Amino acid sequence: MGIPFNKPFLTGKEAHYIYQAVYSGKLSGNGLFTKKCQNFFERQYGFKKALLTTSCTDALEMAAILCDIKPGDEVIAPSYTFVSTVLAFVRQGAKIVFCDSCQDNPNIDPEKIEALITDRTKVIVPVHYAGVACDMDRIMEIARKHNLLVVEDAAQAVDSFYKGRALGSIGHLGCFSFHETKNIIAGEGGMLVINDERFIRRSEIIWEKGTNRSEFFRGEVNKYGWVDTGSSFLPSELISGFLWAQIENMELIQSRRKEIWDKYYNGLKPLADKRKCITLPDIPEYATNNAHMFYIVCRSLDERSSLIKYLKEKGIQSVFHYLSLHKSDFYTGNPEIRPENCIEIEYDGNEKRISGLELTHCDRFADCLVRLPMFYELSNEDVDYIVSSINQYFDNK
């Protein structure tokens, strides 16, 4: 069967808590397990308000609404990210201004943000790639200087920190994912974190389909009604019950994932340091590592493709990751979502790019980064086999 890229880990309590939810008579959202999960995150990581959602995409869409994005507003985000990071703002009418990655890691380069700010800029969206923190001091400094909001895309960053502060707790808003590929999972699921008190009341209203229903159930109003925009962002108690079983075992899960990550790193370090065949993940001094993924960066697109093929022949499923969003058909083909100084041109026959939008580091990661299998039940023997296979590939070359 070989070694898959991912395998969801079950603690053994998920079905038990789902059973409890089913027979409690409360299946819809915001019940016992929803509250237990939210209270845990607020208590454990110092979030002012945590609201579970059906996905991180939903959390980002709530964030875009809370930021009061209007047509023509500009949002700065990395191009090396999942489409949901920017799609949530596009749905509100925003124009997306893409920023390059850092040279040493795929996170947004804070030193390139300020040159992209105009009088239409409203939000910066840093993405903590692989659960490793962006330079949040610099990003927040720029945001304060220009009166901008910061939405942390912390989809991969549960239980990871920047200078001792939990990721997702630093910007005005933070968004998390509990998709089955993440460290702790609910199948599909997410969470919006609100750190700015200005947004707390409205976040609950948007979360409850535009009604003040939460206030009603707390006895703060004697009736509830339609008071704002919103949608059905709440997950069911079945999802929250599943997630609670994972939360209870977070320390165990994180400990094992970090062991696997360290074993990869130590096993591949000679290949990176002495032979210069690959580059290993960069963890800045200000960041912790939550072992969300282990990746290596090859020297070229051809080399990466060849390595992935070689590992597949060895029964190992390795995968590349994001394609540069600024080169996507949707972005190049839709001038209404691009800032006005972006001009579409043609090159190499029919491939399109944006004039003046050269994001060198982003494109390098898009072409050269490859992710290795990473999941709780990956054995030490499996990791040794994967490391040995990668070394064999470069020996053969």
393 three-class SS = helix
- Reference 279, options 299, 297, 304, 261; nearest CA is 297
CA angle 261/262/266 to nearest 5° reads: 125
Whether the Cβ atoms of residue 22 and residue 13 lie closer than 8 Å to each other: no
Tokens matching residue 51: 């609201």
The domain 251-396 having CATH identifier 3.40.50.150: the answer here is no
Residue 85 burial (CB < 10 Å; 0-12/13-18/19+)? buried
- For residue 224, what pLDDT is reported? 84
Residue-range domain boundaries for the chain: 14-249, 251-396
- Reference 171, options 202, 195, 145, 142; nearest CA is 195
- For residue 348, what pLDDT is reported? 56
Q: Please give the model's pTM, rounded to 2 decimal places.
A: 0.95
- For residue 349, what pLDDT is reported? 59
One digit per residue, the tens of pLDDT, for the chain of length 397 reads 699 999 999 999 999 999 999 999 888 889 999 999 999 999 999 999 999 999 999 999 999 999 999 999 999 999 999 999 999 999 999 999 999 999 999 999 999 999 999 999 999 999 999 999 999 999 999 999 999 999 999 999 999 999 999 999 999 999 999 999 999 999 999 999 999 999 999 999 999 999 988 887 777 877 788 999 999 999 999 999 999 999 999 999 999 999 999 999 999 999 999 989 999 999 999 999 999 999 999 999 999 999 999 999 999 999 999 999 999 999 999 999 999 877 766 665 566 677 668 899 999 999 999 999 999 999 999 999 999 999 999 998 7
Residue type, 271: L
- For residue 141, what pLDDT is reported? 98
- For residue 1, what pLDDT is reported? 65
Tokens matching residue 91: 């749905």
Fold category of 14-249 in CATH: Aspartate Aminotransferase; domain 2 (3.40.640)
Distance CA 236, CA 225 (A): 21
The single-letter DSSP state of residue 151 is E
